[in-house]
Structure 1
């Protein structure tokens, strides 16, 4: 019997990140926090990052010159974005090789407070008008795992 193809045009991607590895990257040399964040975050996410952690230009400069001051919460947030974007690249219709870090936006939609917590999602910032993918992200101990489901 010939196998039937999957009935829906969907792609799935998953990624696991080890937090100590990201912490080592962010603190290994001066200026790497800024390089790392600029490499993986699109402009809106960079603004969200600076706002969330109250990073003025001088505060960012301090972290760049004293990398040991990068907080655990900051590391978790960046590791989560990295995992989500890597999973999204794997689920992208064109595949990871043709999807850049800055072509993906991780966003959390504001919901009605009575609805409970907001759900994160992926937006592919491409020429097709920003397709949305579903994102599940979880932090546990030293690991972050993300899974993305996106249309082909």
Structure 2
């Protein structure tokens, strides 16, 4: 039985400066940065696809400018700002997940942010082992993971294993900052710890 002072859990937090992400998205590095932060599955979802259209369209304009000139999106364009807010939240969430799982060597490609209120309550899921998913190149094609509403959850694929874990996320935006907290509590810890 666990001691009340040593609950086996993972907790991570990160904060991201949105103007920094904005500058990256309006530069020639924008599309590559999106690909670095989001998995292919995350990029294909309808909301990110529509949000990041402006970044990919702007890329052609940047390519035609000579090196060292200022981008046409240097003033705070609301379309770029929306893209920067979204990506800053996802960046902070994935960094928080990495901090919540310090014993695993995670990177952004191992973490997928999904929105689904039922993912942790799925009858097919044992949080300690991870959800039981159908085959998908990244994380599975279970209908529970494809629903795009509800609170965010980090689905974490452990490199070199078939293990998939899930952790609760909270993503917040305030002014120029996006912040995220990730909490992982194995089922065994929740059921055996008594105080």
Q: TM-score per shorter chain, which class? A: 0.7 to 0.9
Judged with a 3 Å threshold, the aligned counterparts in structure 2 of structure 1 residues 136 and 104 are, in CA distance, closer, same or farther, namely same
- Does residue 119 (structure 1) correspond to residue 114 (structure 2)? The answer is no
1:40 corresponding residue in structure 2: 37
Flag the 1:42–1:147 CA change in 2: closer, same or farther, 3 A.
Answer: same
Other structure's SS at 1:63 match: helix
Q: Whose radius of gyration is greater, 1 or 2?
A: 2
Q: Is the 8 A contact 2:153 2:168 kept in 1?
A: yes
2:93 to 70, 84, 88: 84
2 CA distance for matches of 1:134 and 1:50?
Answer: 21
TM-score normalized with structure 2 length: 0.62
Question: 1:25 aligns to what?
Answer: 24
Counterparts of residues 69-108 of structure 1 (less than 5 Å): 71-95=80-104, 98-108=105-115
Decide whether the 8 Å contact of 2:152 with 2:170 is kept in 1. yes
What's the C-alpha RMSD, in Å, of the aligned pairs?
Answer: 2.5
Distance 2:172 2:91 in 1: 13
User: Which has a greater percent of helix?
Assistant: 1
Query: Secondary structure of 1:99's partner?
Result: coil
Unmatched segments (≥5 aa) in structure 1: 112-116
Aligned residues of 2:25 and 2:80 also touching (Cα < 8 A): no
Matches of 1:79 and 1:101, distance apart in 2: 13
Distance 1:24 1:147 in 2: 24
- 8 Å CA contact 1:93, 1:151 repeated in 2: no
Q: 1:79 to 1:89 in 2, by over 3 A?
A: same
Q: How many residues align?
A: 137
Counterparts in 2 of 1:143 and 1:60: CA distance versus 1, 3 Å: closer
Distance in 1 (CA, whole Å) between partners of 2:17 and 2:116 is 26
- Larger CA deviation: 64-73 vs 117-126: 64-73
SS across alignment from 1:6: coil
Unaligned stretches of 5+ in structure 2? 63-72, 119-148, 187-195
